[in-house]
Amino acid sequence: MRLHTHALVGFALGVALVAQAPAPAANAVADDGPLEFAGAATGPARGLRIVFVTGDEEYRSEESMPALARILARLGATCTVLFAIDAKTGAIDPGVVDHIPHLDVLARADLLVLFTRFRALPDDAMRHVDDYVQSGRPIVALRTSTHAFAPKAGTKYANYAWNAKDPEGGFGRQVLGETWIAHHGKHGEQGTRGVVAPGAAAHAILRGVDADDVWDPADVYRVRLPLPDGVAPLLLGSVLQTMAKDAPAVADQGERMPIAWVREWKSPGGGAARVFTTTLGSAAAFTAAGTRRLLVNACLWAAGREAAIAPLKYLNDRAGSIYAGSNEIQRNIIAKAILGF
């Protein structure tokens, strides 16, 4: 992976944890290697190995996930971030749907944080994803990960497709709890604010989270209710009149859709994976402390560190990009978080 500092496009998102220790360094292992953040010596995530797999053309996962990785590295986790890469240039390009190199690092991961959209990866790449999923290790999935994969028909992992018939809904429905259904709010016009789901207030992931500060300029996704057995909603989505953080909610919400939920997924191998899914995810959402805290807490919970979840103080240093339409692919975007600002 090449860090083309001269090719930055749009706005970049940086989120830093206010802490005594200096920020961990970001290192490209090789010219075409993954991005890595060394974990701090102390913290609730100490010793965890977290792998972030990114690749979407719309919500800027290539900006937000390095920023989230930096926070978790400050809490002690060693974080590796993988990107959709143009094989010819080595540049980050979320429009490349069939190439996310270095997925073999999942073999050593304690937690997968997934934020992809309609990826059509070849079988030799999907093998690493499948090995991880079948192992029963935990998953944190964001926004378009309900429709993370769109493998070609007839390939070995076609059952991962978001629109698979057998099993119905593929990876999204079977593992996360839902696949892509539709937009519930008006896409590109209405944002989302969190509302605590009935009976969920005491869940560890919501510890210290102000639901009113869980915000995304992207709209609420529609899901089919009820969600599958064993899925427990944590937050519901309030549809806002505009995409602004302080926008009032629309008067007629209809049936509120879950925007964050948890489940324990039983893998065929017998493992019981903790899974957290949220349909939040635009890079700008991470300028809201509530959104950042929700995702940090979710990672700690998924990895079995919920006892260590405590209120933490965050500082946002940059404005995140408002997402673009999928027909407005921006190339060579690199978050300033990667550059260690």
- What pLDDT, in 10s, does the model give residues 128-176? 999 999 999 999 999 999 999 999 999 999 999 999 999 999 999 999 9
The DSSP bridge partners found for residue 242 are none
- What pLDDT, in 10s, does the model give residues 252-301? 999 999 999 999 998 887 778 999 999 999 999 998 999 999 999 999 99
In order, the DSSP letters of 293-305 are HHHHHHHHHHTT-
Cβ–Cβ under 8 Å, residues 51 and 112:
yes
Q: What is the mean pLDDT of residues 296-311?
A: 94
Residue 213 CB burial class (10 angstroms; 0-12, 13-18, ≥19): middle
Measured CA to CA, the distance from residue 258 to residue 175 in angstroms comes to 16
Judge whether residue 3 has pLDDT over 80: no
Q: What is the mean pLDDT of residues 240-257?
A: 94
Q: How confident is the prediction for the chain on average, in pLDDT?
A: 84
> What pLDDT score does 14 carry?
35
5-182+259-316: CATH, from 3.40.50, 3.40.1000, 3.40.30, 1.10.3470? 3.40.50
Whole-prediction pTM:
0.86
**Local confidence band at 32 (pLDDT 50, 70, 90 cut-offs):** low
